Amino acid sequence: MTVDNPYKVRNTYVTGYSGSAHVMMIEATGLTYRYGDFVAVDDISFSVAEGEILGFLGPNGAGKSTTVKMLTGQLVPARGVATVLGTDVSRHPKAVHERIGVCFEEKNLYPRMTVRENLQFFADLFDRSVDVDELIRKVDLEKWASERAEALSKGMQQRVMVARALVNDPDVLFLDEPTSGLDPVSAEQIREIIRAEKTRGKTVFLTTHNMAEADALSDRVAFINEGRIVALDTPENLKLRLGRRLLRVRTRAGDDFAEEVLPLDDDATPDRMGALLRAGGIATVHTLEATLEEVFIQLTGRKL
Ligand SMILES: Nc1ncnc2c1ncn2[C@@H]1O[C@H](COP(=O)(O)OP(=O)(O)O)[C@@H](O)[C@H]1O
Ligand SMILES: [Mg+2]
Does the structural domain 6-235 have CATH classification 3.40.50.300? Answer: yes
For residue range 61-84, list pLDDT tens digits in order.
999 999 999 999 999 999 999 999
Please report the pLDDT score of residue 146 as a whole number.
98
Task: Provide the pLDDT confidence category of residue 169 given band limits of 50, 70 and 90.
Answer: very high
Statement: residue 19 has pLDDT above 70: no
Cβ < 5 A residues, ion ligand 2: 64-65, 105
> What does the domain layout of the chain look like in residue ranges?
6-235, 246-288
| Ligand in nearest proximity to the CA of 71 | 1
Confirm or reject: Cβ of 69 under 6 Å from ligand 1.
no
71 Cβ inside 6 Å of ligand 1: no
pLDDT category at 294 given cuts 50, 70, 90 is confident
User: H/E element holding 300?
Assistant: helix 292-300
User: Between β-strands 21-35 and 256-263, what pairing exists: parallel, antiparallel or unpaired?
Assistant: unpaired
Q: Which of 142, 26, 42 is nearest to 86 (CA)?
A: 26
CB of residue 110 inside a 6 A radius of ligand 1? no
Q: What is the pLDDT of residues 269-291, one digit of tens each?
A: 999 999 999 988 899 999 887 88
The gap from C-alpha 154 to its chain's centroid, in whole angstroms, comes to 20
Q: 180: CA distance to ligand 1 center in Å? A: 16
List pLDDT tens digits, range 226-267: 999 999 999 999 988 777 788 999 998 888 889 999 988 889
For the CA of 60, the nearest atom of ligand 1: 23
The closest of 13, 9, 4, 25 to 172, measured between CA atoms, is 25
- 197: which strand partners? none
**Ligand 1, atom 18, residue with closest C-alpha:** 65
Is 61's C-beta closer than 6 angstroms to any atom of ligand 1? yes
Looking at all shown ligands, the one closest to residue 57's CA atom is 1
Q: How far apart are CA 157 and CA 62, in angstroms?
A: 26
Quick one: what percent of the chain has pLDDT higher than 90?
A: 78
pLDDT at 106: 92
- Cβ atoms 64, 27 nearer than 8 A: no
Mean of per-residue pLDDT scores for the chain? 90
DSSP SS3 for 301: coil
Strands (E), 96-146: 100-103
Residue 3 has pLDDT above 80, yes or no: no
Helix axes 184-199, 154-165, angle to 10 degrees: 20
Ligand 1, atom 1: closest residue by C-alpha: 35
